[in-house]
Structure 1
Amino acid sequence: MRELLTERKEPVRVTVGLGDWQPITIKFSGEVLPRDRAEAFKGAMFAAYPGDVVFSKIDARNGAVGLIPATMPKVVLTPEYPVMVPDLMKLRPAYLHYLLRAEHFRHDLQRQASGTSGRKRVTPEAFLGLSVPLPTLDEQDALVTAYEAALTKAADKEADAARMALASQRAFEAALGVAPAPPLPDRPVFIARFKDVERWSHEGVLRDVTYTASTSAKWPMVALSSVGKVSYGLQKSPANRPGKHSRPYLRVANVQRGVLDLAEMKYMDVPDDDMPKLRLLDGDVLLCEGNSPDLVGRGAIWRNEISDCIHQNHVLRVRVDLSKLLPDFLLAVINSSHGQAYFRSKAKRTTNLASINSTEVAALPVPLPPTAKQAALVKALGDNEKASKAVAFEASELRRVAWATFEAALFEPGV
């Protein structure tokens, strides 16, 4: 690297504040981002400009190495962030950008770190001592062009997958006659009932006071409570620490959108006599009570993955009447724009946490076609989801293969 980069040590001197000098931070991904800071740093400060290579002495081994983007004409750094100027007669900026992300380069960089454990640094001398492959400029251009063409193709496929997923969701909603939530009216000032002001945001209150059930529903709209029972789980306390009757329980972290993450389970002590009312059964729909706007109403279905499992009180259980409502159909309704708009409108803030209670979940308006129709709609939705995921997988494979090809052109495997 010493033959390709020159260290820049241009001091920056300011009298009051940083002015038009932009402080930055470098992510482990190599992305260089602006930092919100107006006051000057204590001690020495140095300049960097678009195209310069910068790295964090402490975090370079974790990937904090990047190029200053053209959107930042004047960057200011402390001595903890050395600045290197590439020789453009030997290096294309785009090639250098990708080279810095290569796994082989990162491994070499990690080996250059020195110092005490936890505070190891990469010095400018060590960085410049790295050896890197140097194709001709034409070869660099060809590598970058091929890789970026694959990225473009992958992005097109990802856009196709997103359109397919959206079209599938819209078809499901159209079959039920529940339209997406209308855009919020431009009402920066409006009147709401006092009890609604605990909603977590202006949008939540406005959504609540303007929310109306769809008038174009093609099937009867019923409250969830008429076709299912909503129940809280068991509250964790010192009295039920794991003991003689330890039982696995589901937390909010276990309930992801549409799936359960059971990699890490925790336990509570629950006597045998209490298990009949607490034990999860196949087909139970599990919903997050809240914590943040993203978590409110996030749900998945229990399929008896673990025996004698219960749920914590921050996870709501919906046990449906299977003769009237299918669990998969209910979850699809909850995940629809109709269901999500309802939960957003009803979520409340308690001690700075957004949440929804069992009463409001029980009042969710659910379109209720015959169960055979529910099953058909869920199957169509699932088939379309599989198709969109297949296209998304093709996109991820394009990215993976393109990057592997780029690295293989520069580094010998295992060297």
Structure 2
Amino acid sequence: MKYVRLKEILRESKIVSDSPNPDKRITVKLNTGGVEKRVLKEEAEGATKYFIRHKGQFIYGKQNLFKGAFGIVPDELDGFESTSDIPSFDVDDSCYADWIVRYLQCNKLYKKLEGLAKGSSSKRIHPEQLYNIEIPLPNKDVQKTKLNDIKNVEVIVKESLLNINSQEKYITLLRQSILQQAIEGKLCEQNPDDEPANIFFKKIQEEKEKLISERKIKKHKESNPINEVEKPFELPRGWVWCRLEDIIFQLPQNGYSPNRVDYITNTKVLTLTATTRGILDINQYKYVDDNISKASHLWVKQGDILIQRSNSIDYVGIACLCEVDLQGYIYPDLMMKLQCLPSINLKFILLCLRSPYIRNYFRNKASGTSNSMKKITQGIVANTVIPLPPFAEQQRIVEKTERLMALCDKLEQEVKKVKSYSSQLMEAVLQEAFGSEKRSIQGTIIEYVSKPQLQQKQMQFTAAARGNVKESTWNNLVARALEIVCEDN
């Protein structure tokens, strides 16, 4: 196949704009996201020279070409402008502009161009470096055929990804529905032989009074009565409403965030990301060198529930349970900690805290002018109204919820597989178009591994995206989920 350097088919466009318009600026998105209009910004008049760009031109960002900032000027941005840092090029009649774009996408070639960048503080890939790249150049009929093949597969991938995204949203809704039904008593059948929750709750209070009399915990003022407005749904027979402060040792306590050190110590403070997913990740920490008493409440212990007291509106109030025996970890100031009484099922309380009802309660109560940083207080958490079932039913609810969530995990894994097939398919069709070659770009070796099984890849992907997951695996797992929900009901 014939190869040419880009300098043979590209010519930089340098038409200066006589009357620059801040509302007609072009930006090139990263990760091959394409070319779009830049958001209107204030500019110092006459401070920068702008150049007029025209539809169909190849365009890229000098600083971010190796991050996928390149594309073609679309029709609707004809006559728009950019600085010399985002140059555009007229393409020779022997080549389609999209041919160049697809070549740079193949095997993510653009990522391998970082070595071409020049400069000390801010590195750039200038047209002179770009021009040295060699590109295969068949006749335009061949280019057109191959580009059409790529576009046809791209349509399949996009359609399937829309379906996948819908499935992901469905799984999220399914998880929320499971949690909400769990705390409303709709997952398990009530057993009349269970000890009623009002008797169970009375025993909890007696247990608490005993611990107070033994001076193991401090007495705090009695919780406020729960009025009807605070009850968001009707409870099954045998359940009661209570406040979170009624079933915990002490009121929630904030953590502590000492300055981190760059050497290993015996004390680690968890970072906020350690609990953002609702599962404790003990690998997210920083070392600190503070003298913290062994009796301090700051140490994270097995059975502690950690709640994010400050985060964005979507994450504030996220809770997780420490299920392992930890040594040497404290929790940060942006979290608070709960310790439930021994007779409480911790996983049921965690399930309540993760439910849509309580997540919405935290969001609505959170303060702060910006959605990126909201806060909830200890009082808000302590006053949380909890639906409390009989102790035996708590365990049944937890077990059924865990089984349903495990099936949701399987559904998510199937969706991830399909997403993986989509990227494999696009890569296969690109490599099929450009063949198997090793080309040198100023000392950088770019290797393309041929994957001739394009048709097989396409069949695998379409089967997974439209058949196995949706019609077989998906339906089977959802049917099993429904069976679990209906068990004993």
CA distance in structure 2 between the partners assigned to 1:307 and 1:321 by the alignment:
21
| CA distance in 1: counterparts of 2:373 and 2:167, whole angstroms | 36
Structure 2 unmatched runs, 5+:
1-5, 187-228, 438-445, 448-489
Give, in whole Å, the separation in 1 of the partners of 2:380 and 2:31.
42
Q: Percent identity?
A: 19
Q: Which runs of 5+ in 1 are unaligned?
A: 180-210
| 1:130 and 2:151 correspond | no
Q: What pairs up with 1:102-113 in 2 under 5 angstroms? A: 102-107=106-111, 109-113=113-117
Q: 1:120 to 1:277 in 2, by over 3 A?
A: closer
Q: Which residue of 158, 170, 173 corresponds with 2:177?
A: 170
Distance 1:321 1:26 in 2: 56
Q: Aligned partners of 2:408 and 2:129: how far apart in 1?
A: 49
Distance 1:272 1:37 in 2: 50
Change (3 A) 1:22 1:381: farther
Q: Distance in 2 between matches of 1:411 and 1:111?
A: 24
- Which residue does the alignment assign to 2:205? none
In 1, Cα distance between equivalents of 2:185 and 2:18: 62
Choose from 243, 254, 273 the match for 1:223: 243
Residues 268, 231 of structure 1: CA spacing in aligned structure 2 closer, same or farther, 3 A cutoff?
farther
The one-character-per-residue Cα deviations of 1:347-368 (angstroms, maximum 9, x if unpaired) are: 1238995211111111112222
The reply to whether residue 84 of structure 1 matches residue 102 of structure 2 is no
Shift in alpha-carbon separation, 1:319–1:142, aligned structure 2, 3 A: same
Distance 1:320 1:339 in 2: 17
TM-score calculated relative to the size of structure 2: 0.67
Q: 1:88 to 1:389 in 2, by over 3 A?
A: farther
Alignment: residue pair count: 377
**SS in structure 2 of the partner of residue 398 of structure 1:** helix
Match of 2:360 among 312, 327, 341: 341
Residue 32 of structure 2 corresponds to 30
Q: Which residue in 1 is equivalent to 2:219?
A: none
Q: Equivalences for 1:2-401 in 2 at 5 Å?
A: 2-14=7-19, 18=21, 22-31=24-33, 32-33=35-36, 34-37=38-41, 39=43, 42-87=47-92, 90-91=95-96, 93=98, 96-107=100-111, 109-114=113-118, 116-134=119-137, 136=142, 137-177=144-184, 212-218=230-236, 219-229=239-249, 230-237=251-258, 246-269=266-289, 273-275=293-295, 277-304=297-324, 306-321=326-341, 323-327=343-347, 329-349=348-368, 353-369=373-389, 370-401=393-424
Hey, what does 1:188 align to over in structure 2?
A: none
- Report the secondary structure of 2:160's partner residue: helix
Describe the SS at the equivalent of 2:32.
coil
TM-score (norm 1): 0.78
Aligned-CA RMSD value: 3.4
Q: Deviations over 1:290-342 (max 9, x none)?
A: 04323311232223374232212321112223533333x33333233211210
- Within 1, Cα distance between the matches of 2:75 and 2:245? 57
**Residue 207 (structure 1) aligns with:** none
Counterpart contact for 2:300–2:329, Cα < 8 Å: yes
> Quick check: which one's helix share is greater?
2
Shift in alpha-carbon separation, 1:243–1:277, aligned structure 2, 3 A? farther
Q: Which amino acid aligns with 1:18?
A: N
Q: Is the 8 A contact 2:301 2:325 kept in 1?
A: no
Please state whether the residue corresponding to 1:2 is helix, strand or coil.
Answer: helix
> Contact 1:224 / 1:361 at 8 angstroms: preserved in 2?
yes
Alpha-carbon distance in structure 2 between the residues aligned to 1:332 and 1:111: 50
Could you tell me how far apart the structure 1 residues matched to 2:354 and 2:337 are?
16
- Bigger radius of gyration: 2
User: What residue identity is the alignment partner of 2:399?
Assistant: A
Deviates more, 1:353-362 or 1:225-234: 225-234
